Amino acid sequence: MPKKILFCATVDYHFKAFHLPYMKWFKEQGWEVHVAAKGELELPFTDQKYNIPIQRSPFKLKNVKAYNELKSIINDNQFEIIHCHTPLGGVLARLAARKARKHGTKVIYTAHGFHFCKGAPPLNWFVYYPIEKQLAKYTDCLITINQEDYDLALNRKFKANQVDHVHGVGVDTKRFMPVDENTKTVLKKSFGYHPDDFLIFYAAEFNKNKNQQLLIRSLALIQDYMPNAKLLLAGEGLQENCRQLVHQLGIDHMVDFLGFRKDIDSLLPMCDIAVGSSFREGLPVNIMEAMACGLPIVASRNRGHVELVQDQVNGYIVSPKDYGQFARSLLRLFQNDALRNQMGTASLHLVNTYSLSQLSLELSDIYTRYMLEETNETKSKYHHAHI
């Protein structure tokens, strides 16, 4: 019988977006891969998929049903490893796996950015911190993806058996890469832009945390100095306030709302700058992808951005409420081609630490640690077979 791993998260798209290379790796090792999450996506490298009603909010009653379903799935299968992701996926999987852990199942949890962090609302500390600290004792390996979370878990004495730090979720540097000037021109024309347009890119869901208003207001301050600049906003969500703000500031001609896109790897290389405006990030993939395309970055100060962007090396770090400083940083890069190229080259160098190949090494080291351990149940069966 092949050994089994269960991956669990709130929604199944999480795996399509971030974890297919690692699911593939387990298949290559001869393991059976199971996935539990909300949604009906067909995922590759998956032997069994369970659509369970996990909700993003911890206060939804449907999470009780999801917990019961998850508990049955875990108890009915002899998983050697359970790897859970996202806050609610992590909570429910670790609670549901308590019995299985007594029989040797190893539980790994990746925190993709604790909701409690420096500058987070007090409510986040009140709600999420005690939950994560309590559940750490049901965790064999707690994986953090940025240095601040790693330090927090150690300093606050989270009682996971092991706390590890890996560099994000991995960016595919063979898919996201720079292009030459001729290709950039061709790409711009293919998307309906003029070769001389100065393109500023941000891919993120429209919500309060992502703070797109910072970008819009900053651009409005310097519109007279950057007449050919265009801000490309990719993503779905609550766009209406941003659209109204763009119209109110009279910069409709400078902002394009692109909606949900599957061609980010074609859009990014034709751009001149990438930006990030969020209040909170774990370790943002959108910034890593932009760095892999050789772009300088202007980003708001938060734990994820400051780990990726070295101020005045591969971009600028600015307060998420300082429109003026953000605008000045954009203008500085707009006016100085040499500086833009220099910072873009620095981005290319720095992103190697976060590449998919590097992440694969880090995660395979962690997985192998638990794959090689015999479970208590296996030891027990072996013992009885040889009595």
pLDDT of residue 386: 31
pLDDT of residue 116: 78
Domains of the chain, each with CATH number or no CATH: 4-170+355-385 (3.40.50.2000), 181-354 (3.40.50.2000)
Residue 57 has pLDDT above 90, yes or no: no
Mean pLDDT of 52-64: 87
Rg over CA atoms, the chain: 23
pLDDT of residue 385: 33
Convert the pLDDT of each residue in 314-345 to its tens digit: 999 999 999 999 999 999 999 999 999 999 99
Residue 286 has pLDDT above 60, yes or no: yes
Mean pLDDT of 302-324: 96
Convert the pLDDT of each residue in 123-166 to its tens digit: 777 878 888 999 999 999 999 999 999 999 998 889 999 999 99
Q: Hey, how many other C-beta atoms are within 10 angstroms of the C-beta on 172?
A: 15
CA 264 vs. chain centroid, Å, equals 15
- Residues pairing with 355 in the sheet: 171
Angle between helices 20-28 and 356-371 (to 10 degrees): 50
Residue 299 has pLDDT above 50, yes or no: yes
Average pLDDT, the chain: 92
Confidence category of residue 17, pLDDT binned at 50, 70, 90: confident
Convert the pLDDT of each residue in 72-131 to its tens digit: 999 999 999 999 999 899 999 999 999 999 999 999 999 988 877 777 778 777 878 888
The answer, as to whether pTM is greater than 0.85, is yes
List the end-to-end C-alpha distance of the chain, in Å, as a whole number.
Answer: 22
pLDDT of residue 125: 79
CA–CA gap between residue 383 and residue 196 (Å, rounded): 73
Mean pLDDT of 282-299: 96
pLDDT of residue 121: 76
Of the candidates 147, 242, 250, the one whose C-alpha atom is nearest the C-alpha of residue 202 is 242
Confidence category of residue 384, pLDDT binned at 50, 70, 90: very low
SS3 for the chain, per residue? CCCEEEEEEEECHHHHHHCHHHHHHHHHCCCEEEEEEECCCCCCCCCEEEECCCCCCCCCCHHHHHHHHHHHHHHHCCCCEEEEECHHHHHHHHHHCHHHHHCCCEEEEEECCCCCCCCCCHHHHHHHHHHHHHHHHHCCEEEECCHHHHHHHHHCCCCCCCEEECCCCCECCCCCCCCCHHHHHHHHHHCCCCCCCEEEEEECCECCCCCHHHHHHHHHHCCCCCCCEEEEEECCECCHHHHHHHHHCCCHHHEEEEECCCCHHHHHHHCCEEEECCCCCCCCHHHHHHHHCCCCEEEECCHHHHHHCCECCCEEEECCCCHHHHHHHHHHHHHCHHHHHHHHHHHHHHHHHHEHHHHHHHHHHHHHHHHCCCCHHHHHHHHHHCC
Convert the pLDDT of each residue in 214-272 to its tens digit: 999 999 999 999 999 999 999 999 999 999 999 999 999 999 999 999 999 999 999 99
Q: Hey, how many other C-beta atoms are within 10 angstroms of the C-beta on 72?
A: 13
pLDDT of residue 122: 82
